[in-house]
């Protein structure tokens, strides 16, 4: 009996859950639409404080973190994550500022992308394999 007849019984493939933390609503929406269309489950946060709430409740696999935001910037988000009992999360920073020199880059950041960032660039970084010890 061919296995294809039972393909409907296969467990669903888990979609990586991405939290987009971006204070610009147009950019946040653009990233969300593009990543949704590419099969990712997307959650949104408009600032660092909201990001911490979403990380706690949604347990994302990857956080796309704007570095400069009102209320709480990306550095403070990382500091608060380090104090919490948060599971390993991949952190990708997206900023209008260029990346600091490698020796000054926070080791919890797996990648620093400078805006403007295309959806294809985001997908490439999201899908890049990373050792577990490189996560927050």
Task: Please give the model's pTM, rounded to 2 decimal places.
Answer: 0.84
- In order of their start, the domains of the chain are 10-129 (3.40.50.2300)
Band (pLDDT 50/70/90 cuts) for residue 12 is low
| Cα angle for residues 118, 50, 130 (degrees, 5° grid) | 50
Question: Residue 20's closest CA among 4, 36, 38?
Answer: 36
pLDDT tens per residue across span 85-94: 665 789 999 9
Return d(Cα 19, Cα 55) in angstroms, integer.
Answer: 8
């Amino acid at each position: 009996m061919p296995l294809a007849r039972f393909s409907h019984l296969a467990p669903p493939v888990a979609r990586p859950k991405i939290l987009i933390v971006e204070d610009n609503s147009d950019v946040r929406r653009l990233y969300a639409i593009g990543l949704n269309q590419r099969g990712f489950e997307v959650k949104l946060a408009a600032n660092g404080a909201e990001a911490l709430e979403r990380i706690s409740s949604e347990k994302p696999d990857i956080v796309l973190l704007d570095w400069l935001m009102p209320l709480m910037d990306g550095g403070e988000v990382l500091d608060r994550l380090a104090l919490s009992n948060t599971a390993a999360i991949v952190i990708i920073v997206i900023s209008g500022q260029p990346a600091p020199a490698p020796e000054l880059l926070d080791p919890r950041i797996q990648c620093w992308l400078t805006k403007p960032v295309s959806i294809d660039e985001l997908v490439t970084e999201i899908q890049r394999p990373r050792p577990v010890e490189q996560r927050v």
